[in-house]
Amino acid sequence: MIGFPVGIFVANGMEWYFHKVWLHEFPSKNRNSPFFTHIAHHKRARLNDFHDEGYAESMFKNSEMYNEKSALIGLTVASTVFLPVAPFFTAGLYYGIWNYWKVHAKSHLDPEYAKKRIPWHYDHHMTSNQNANWCVTKPWFDYIMGTRVLTDVSDTETNPLAIKMPLWLEKRVNRTARRLLPKAFAKIDKNTQTDQFNLSQGIEVAL
């Protein structure tokens, strides 16, 4: 049974990696890549206050949706290799992949939902630096890797797990996280200050 939450955690890491490397770094250097459509998604969201009507369209009528869904289907199929030996882990991966699509699509059709429920992804699109805040469903790996940038444009989560909990427990979680990941939090604090300065000056970091 422990395999299921482990699968969800690994899926969050996959979310961070594929978003950062394959949807940003690779297409920014290879303009002919099919993943370059993700850059177009960023531009549209930026111009429409996070809204992207493409997520209401069929994948067979929208190339961006086709590429995104095809990639997720491919990851799901690839994850099946673990099914015979780790069924609960595989189920966690399946859930993580499905939840990514569900949350991502809903957020871009309902920006207010994004601001309140997944502020890290709203920040990814709407602040000065779109090369940060790589996670979508939960910000776990952004905290682990030091790529979370906190802003005032969304309802920022109050702990790295982005889970509601009693205040006394939340304080312990926050202290423990900073103690276990000092370098990551140093990066987060520094990049957050930089982002706030850039926003005040109207500076945008290029994709």
Residue ranges covered by each domain of the chain: 3-201
Tell me the C-alpha distance between 111 and 44, whole Å. Answer: 13
Tell me the C-alpha distance between 107 and 115, whole Å. Answer: 8
Measure CA of the first residue to CA of the last residue in the chain; give whole Å: 41
Q: How confident is the model at residue 153, as a pLDDT? A: 86
Average pLDDT over residues 55-75: 93
**Residue 82's closest CA among 68, 95, 92, 72?**
92
pLDDT tens track for 1-41: 899 999 999 999 999 999 999 999 987 787 777 778 888 89
**Mean pLDDT computed over every residue of the chain:** 94
Helices (H), 30-166: 37-47, 63-79, 87-109, 111-117, 119-126, 140-145
Question: Does pLDDT of 195 surpass 90?
Answer: yes
Q: Are 128 and 195 in contact (CB under 8 A)?
A: yes
Q: How confident is the model at residue 179, as a pLDDT? A: 98
Backbone dihedral region for residue 152 (phi beyond 0: left; psi -120 to 50: alpha; all else: beta)? alpha
Query: Any idea what the Cα angle at residue 126 is, between residues 167 and 104, rounded to 5°?
Result: 75
Can you tell me which residue has the tokens 């005032």? 152
Q: Which two tokens stand for residue 176?
A: 């423990």
Residue percentage of the chain with pLDDT more than 90? 83
Q: How confident is the model at residue 32, as a pLDDT? A: 74
pLDDT tens track for 127-175: 899 999 999 999 999 999 999 999 988 999 999 999 999 999 999 999 9
pLDDT tens track for 158-170: 999 999 999 999 9
* Other C-beta atoms lying within 10 Å of the C-beta of residue 142: 27
